[in-house]
Amino acid sequence: METIKLQEIFDAKIDRGDMIEPKDWMPDDYRKTLIRQISQHAHSEIVGMLPEGNWITRAPSLRRKMVLLAKVQDEGGHGLYLYSAAETMGISRDEMIEQLHSGKAKYSSIFNYPTLTWADMGAIGWLVDGAAIMNQVMLQKTSYGPYSRAMIRICKEESFHQRQGYEIMSVLAAGTPEQKAMAQDALNRFWWPSLMMFGPPDASSPNTAQSMRWKIKRETNDELRQKFVDRTVPQAEFIGLTVPDKDLKWDEAKQSYDWGTPDWEEFNNVIKGNGPCNKERLGARVKAHENGAWVREAAAAYAAKQQQKVAA
Ligand code: 3HC
């Protein structure tokens, strides 16, 4: 069947809101966009284990340690789901890992900031997972089947991540003045980088318009960012913390907040690899991959032996 007809069938499916499945014909650029987005999403989950993993041995109680351990393990599982979803589009795991390690592929900017105090574990769960949930709930309705199904599974675990983070911040904010100051400091350092997680403004996003037409995205970067601000500011106020934005103001007519502008120069710098922790994060991933080579070799040798047995 010629390409024009195939394109018409694809477009009709997208218009109807049907899911595109791995075996369906799809435009090369649709496939390329999804390989880029899903693999970078997976990289974000795996690299995202590092800032929190940094505090597992220093959690203030056994309960906090167990909860943080469970969360970090969840993130690893989310990464594997997403790598598998990306593989359905014809890219290999090795290729994706090589793209991450060589710096060709991105991962979420937020993970290039240091985690300096225990309150940062609360800010990450509350704000970073809160922002990720905002984005991932939307992606449950993305037009590519395997990605949508991975999101449905992942979102169930993300809500626990966000709640445990907000609980840490609530307990600290209600604690001693030093604890409240630690929570406020974490909010000050993670507020703006969390807003940058949604991507550049729609006006300067090279991918959003086309991703909306293909129903890969169902809401734009700015729409999700605004929803996140509207939902999160009252949560900060409820526990007595102050959002670090002097332009933040409730607009009664719009029933939403007006607020300041993220430092997009900082954002572009971080995604170019010049953030506070980019080198450390990538170095840790490369080292872990190298240290794990023997496991991959042993598994491959075992699989080959099993194949020989079956073939004999
Ligand atoms: N960090 C790093 N790069 C970013 C970024 C961010 N926060 N936001 C945008 N970018 C990059 C894009 O990847 C793109 O670069 P590329 O073309 O080289 O890939 C460029 O900046 C332009 O941005 P666009 O908005 O045009 O790009 P997208 O249409 O891809 O939108 C996105 C960006 C909204 C992040 C989209 O890719 C997306 O929804 N990705 C899936 C969700 C995701 O990756 N979330 C990351 C967090 S996962 C997480 O937090 C784990 C949780 O459990 C803690």
* Nearest atom, ligand 1, residue 37 CA: 37
Give the pLDDT of residue 221. 98
Give the pLDDT of residue 15. 97
Give the pLDDT of residue 2. 86
Tell how far the Cα of 296 is from the centroid of ligand 1, in angstroms. Answer: 29
Tell how far the Cα of 179 is from the centroid of ligand 1, in angstroms. Answer: 33
Instruction: Please say if the pLDDT value at position 1 is more than 80.
Output: no
Nearest CA to ligand 1 atom 45: 41
Instruction: Give the rounded percent of residues in the chain with a pLDDT score beyond 90.
Output: 97
How far is CA 24 from its chain centroid? Answer: 27
Separation of alpha carbons 152 and 164, rounded Å: 20
Give the pLDDT band (50/70/90) at residue 243. very high
Instruction: Give the rounded percent of residues in the chain with a pLDDT score beyond 70.
Output: 100
Give the pLDDT of residue 284. 97
Q: Taking the alpha carbons of 59, 197, 45, 281 in that order, is the dihedral positive or negative? A: negative
Give the pLDDT of residue 4. 86
Give the pLDDT band (50/70/90) at residue 252. very high
Give the pLDDT of residue 312. 83
Longest dimension (CA), the chain: 76
* Nearest atom, ligand 1, residue 196 CA: 7
Give the pLDDT of residue 3. 83
pLDDT digits over 65-83, tens only?
999 999 999 999 999 999 9
Do 139 and 75 meet the contact criterion of CB atoms below 8 Å apart? no
Separation of alpha carbons 88 and 80, rounded Å: 13
For residue 69, how many C-alpha atoms fall within 13 Å in the half-sphere facing its CB? 9
Q: What does the DSSP 8-state code read for residue 19?
A: P
Tell how far the Cα of 45 is from the centroid of ligand 1, in angstroms. Answer: 12
pLDDT digits over 120-174, tens only?
999 999 999 999 999 999 999 999 999 999 999 999 889 899 999 999 999 999 9
Tell how far the Cα of 253 is from the centroid of ligand 1, in angstroms. Answer: 31
Instruction: Please say if the pLDDT value at position 272 is more than 80.
Output: yes
Give the pLDDT of residue 129. 97
Do 193 and 183 meet the contact criterion of CB atoms below 8 Å apart? no
In this structure, the residues whose C-beta lies within 6 A of any atom of ligand 1 are 36-37, 40-41, 44-45, 48, 75, 78, 106, 108-109, 128-129, 132, 135, 158, 196-200, 205-208, 211, 221, 271
Whole-number average pLDDT of the chain:
97
Nearest CA to ligand 1 atom 30: 37
Give the pLDDT band (50/70/90) at residue 279. very high
Tell how far the Cα of 110 is from the centroid of ligand 1, in angstroms. Answer: 10
